């Protein structure tokens, strides 16, 4: 993490006050929550939903922070404390991260896309750690606050940083990529996430494509070549190299064969000898891993290092998380978020699972889809194969349209809409048997992991 004197920090950001009295005090790491301050931190006060961080500056310093920022338009800065006055605290956080990034001798991999950023970030980091000292975005810290905080957590001797870049409006990726200046930029796919804010998939593609604006000279763009919207945005005259991945054989990397087995996927890749194995299900996760393979090849990893890194990867929770469930069933907790693209991809994965036991879909509302939200849910219902899926239970006002669209293809009681999680859990427990698969998927706002937790809690009783 950043380790600088106040004198150095005041040069990295535009300090508005004389700090000569405190110039040799050293800060180590930054923190935006006084309750989590570590000794030596620089506390950065930010405005939130309920309060302004400025009211916690003294508490932060009393808790061990070496210094704190203070926005000049906020009255009554504490006296006699190492306070760095700035125009804007958030802008100062971002500037400090930019300055620190520019001082580091490091390779940066930037990851964006509608779906799979966190998964692909985890895969890339898992592979690259076979050869380099790697740090990555923790959790989902992928925006105008999270990315700068991640950069400021980087150690001076870290060799590669894998940074997730999220957005819900135009210009946000441009800001993040110009701050992080990636050497390799990955675009996982173009789906419908944040469609409500952007209005069209074309606009989503343009927003994600902003990532090239920070890409270093002769940098590498790795993207899903199956996506026409991205192919259209690629101009011939560009000062970066391009590698594609996807299902189509026109891609630089594509899977030659895929086998879903137990908790993982075994597959071969064109032009590369041998099998790859990732301990997660889903054809789209195989595609995500191809972006990681491109990145690894760019950074000179051996095939053995790549295979080892992929095999040892661990995904962030609630992404295709396999859990031993009720009565010996298998719960696939994919409840972090959901869009039509990711929901259909998860259903295809379920339909492709071996085994004669029941396959049960538990789907919640997909949010932020804009005015066509009902149609998106109906479309998901239309695409469920009743020959391969045994039950479809939905939770929420929008997901109800999935059930209604699919109900006529299922036996009585096999396609039901719920508005109460307790009732849904009761139904699930009444039908589930050993080795059944249960997929749990919905937007973050639906908190469908509560269904998983209820089932697991009952199981313990
Ligand atoms: C929910 C929310 O808005 N949280 C943000 C909010 O926190 P909160 O309202 O709880 O703050 P308070 O008002 O309570 O406190 C104000 C500050 O004071 C600090 N403090 C409080 C009490 C105390 O005793 N001591 C204290 O020091 C406190 O720590 C506060 O700093 O405000 C905070 C400050 O602005 C935000 O940090 C907090 O979190 C928001 C969401 C945030 O951006 N956090 C980032 C670190 C982050 O990366 N979070 C990710 C989620 C990112 C995300 O959603 N990404 C999108 C794509 C990008 C969309 C973009 N348009 C955007 O705006 O984000 C995606 O789809 O992935 C994460 O948490 O996982
Ligand atoms: N390449 C992909 N194509 C379609 N769906 C995907 C892909 N990768 C992951 N998903 C789905 O998206 C869900 C979220 O994955 P992940 O958290 O990696 O995406 P993300 O882009 O980081 O999401 P967010 O923007 O919300 O942070 C997964 O649980 C899975 O259902
Ligand atoms: C939580 C945020 N990253 C997101 O993905 N939002 C959409 C609406 C979802 O939760 O599906």
Rounded Cα distance between 202 and 195, Å, is: 10
Last residue of a domain, one of 258, 282, 311: 311
Last residue of a domain, one of 282, 311, 340: 311
User: Which atom in ligand 3 lies closest to the alpha carbon of residue 194?
Assistant: 8
Ligand 3 center from residue 211 Cα (angstroms)? 20
CA angle 296, 302, 102 (to 5 degrees): 40
CATH number of residue 389's parent domain? 3.90.190.20
Looking at ligand 1, which residue's alpha carbon is closest to its atom 65?
Answer: 166
User: Which atom in ligand 2 lies closest to the alpha carbon of residue 121?
Assistant: 18
**Do 371 and 274 fall within a single domain?**
no
Ligand 3 center from residue 139 Cα (angstroms)? 14
Split into its structural domains, the chain has a count of 3
Tokens of 451: 């269904």
Q: pTM for the whole thing? A: 0.95
Nearest residue to 189 via CA among 177, 204, 203 = 204
Last residue of a domain, one of 28, 51, 86: 86
Ligand-binding site membership of 388 (annotated): no
- Tell whether 93 is covered by a domain: no
What does each of the 461 residues of the chain score in pLDDT, given as a tens digit?
999 999 999 999 989 999 999 999 999 999 999 999 999 999 999 999 999 999 999 999 999 999 999 999 999 999 999 999 999 999 999 999 999 999 999 999 999 999 999 999 999 999 999 999 999 999 889 999 999 999 999 999 999 999 999 999 999 999 999 999 999 999 999 998 888 889 999 999 999 999 999 999 889 999 999 999 999 999 766 889 999 999 999 999 999 999 988 789 999 999 999 999 999 999 999 999 999 999 999 999 999 999 999 999 998 999 999 998 888 899 999 999 999 999 999 999 999 888 778 999 999 999 999 999 999 999 999 999 999 999 999 999 999 999 999 999 999 999 999 999 999 999 999 999 998 999 999 999 999 999 999 988 876 66
Q: How are beta strands 67-71 and 107-112 bridged, if at all?
A: unpaired
Would the CB of 284 count as within 6 Å of ligand 2?
yes
DSSP helix/strand/coil, 342? helix
Rounded Cα distance between 286 and 269, Å, is: 10
Sequence-ordered list of residues with C-beta below 8 angstroms from that of 44, at least 6 positions apart, any chain: 30, 31, 32, 53, 68, 69, 89, 92, 93
Ligand 2 center from residue 116 Cα (angstroms)? 3
- Tell whether 95 is covered by a domain: no
143 secondary structure, DSSP code: S
Tokens of 331: 């719960």
Q: Which helix (H) or strand (E) holds 309?
A: helix 303-311
- Tell whether 292 is covered by a domain: yes
Ligand 1 center from residue 297 Cα (angstroms)? 36
Rounded Cα distance between 430 and 327, Å, is: 10
> 9: domain range?
3-86
**Do 139 and 279 fall within a single domain?**
yes
- Tell whether 61 is covered by a domain: yes
- Tell whether 48 is covered by a domain: yes
User: Which atom in ligand 3 lies closest to the alpha carbon of residue 140?
Assistant: 3
Rounded Cα distance between 265 and 233, Å, is: 32
List ligand 3's pocket residues with C-beta within 6 A.
193, 337-339, 367-368, 443-445
User: Which atom in ligand 1 lies closest to the alpha carbon of residue 51?
Assistant: 13
- Tell whether 300 is covered by a domain: yes
Contact 123, 70 (CB under 8 A): no
Tokens of 163: 């940074």
């Amino acid at each position: 993490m950043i380790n600088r004197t106040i004198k150095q920090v005041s040069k990295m950001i535009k300090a508005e006050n004389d700090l000569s009295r405190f110039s040799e005090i050293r800060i180590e790491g930054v923190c935006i929550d006084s309750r989590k301050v570590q000794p030596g931190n620089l506390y950065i006060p930010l405005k939130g939903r309920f309060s302004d961080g400025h009211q916690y500056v003294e508490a932060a310093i009393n808790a061990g922070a070496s210094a704190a920022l203070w926005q000049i338009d906020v009255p009554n800065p504490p006296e006699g404390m190492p306070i760095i006055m700035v125009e804007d605290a958030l802008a100062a956080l971002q500037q400090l991260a930019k300055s620190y990034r520019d001082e580091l001798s490091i390779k940066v991999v930037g990851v964006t896309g509608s779906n799979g950023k966190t998964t692909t970030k985890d895969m890339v980091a898992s592979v690259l750690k076979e050869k380099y000292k790697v740090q990555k975005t923790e959790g989902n810290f992928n925006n105008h606050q999270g990315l700068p905080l991640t950069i400021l957590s980087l150690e001076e001797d870290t060799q590669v940083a894998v940074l997730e870049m999220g957005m819900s409006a135009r210009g946000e990726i441009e800001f993040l990529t110009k701050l992080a200046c990636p050497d390799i930029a990955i675009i996982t796919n173009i789906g419908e996430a944040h469609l409500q804010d952007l209005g069209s998939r074309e606009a989503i593609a343009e927003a994600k494509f902003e990532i090239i604006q920070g890409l270093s000279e002769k940098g590498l763009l790795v993207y899903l070549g199956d996506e026409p919207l991205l192919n259209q945005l690629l101009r011939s005259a560009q000062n970066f190299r391009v590698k594609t991945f996807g299902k189509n054989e026109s891609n630089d990397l594509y899977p030659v064969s895929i086998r879903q087995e137990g908790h993982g996927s075994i597959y071969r890749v064109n032009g590369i000898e041998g099998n790859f194995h990732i301990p997660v299900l889903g054809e789209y996760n195989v595609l995500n891993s191809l972006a990681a393979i491109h990145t690894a090849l760019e950074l000179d990893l051996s095939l053995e290092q790549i295979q080892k890194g992929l095999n040892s990867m661990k995904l962030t929770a609630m992404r295709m998380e396999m859990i031993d469930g009720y009565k010996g069933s298998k719960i696939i907790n994919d409840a972090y978020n959901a869009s039509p693209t990711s929901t259909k991809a998860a259903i295809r994965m379920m339909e492709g699972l071996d085994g004669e036991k029941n396959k049960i879909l538990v789907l919640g509302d997909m949010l932020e889809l804009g005015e066509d939200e009902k149609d998106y849910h109906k479309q998901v219902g239309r695409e469920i194969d009743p020959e391969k899926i045994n039950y479809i239970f939905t939770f929420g006002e929008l997901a109800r349209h999935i059930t209604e669209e699919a109900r006529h293809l299922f036996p009585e009681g096999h396609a039901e809409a719920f508005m109460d999680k307790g009732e849904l859990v009761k139904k699930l427990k009444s039908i589930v048997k050993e080795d059944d698969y249960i997929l749990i998927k919905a937007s973050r706002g639906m908190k469908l992991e509560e269904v998983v937790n209820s089932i697991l809690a009952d199981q313990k009783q």
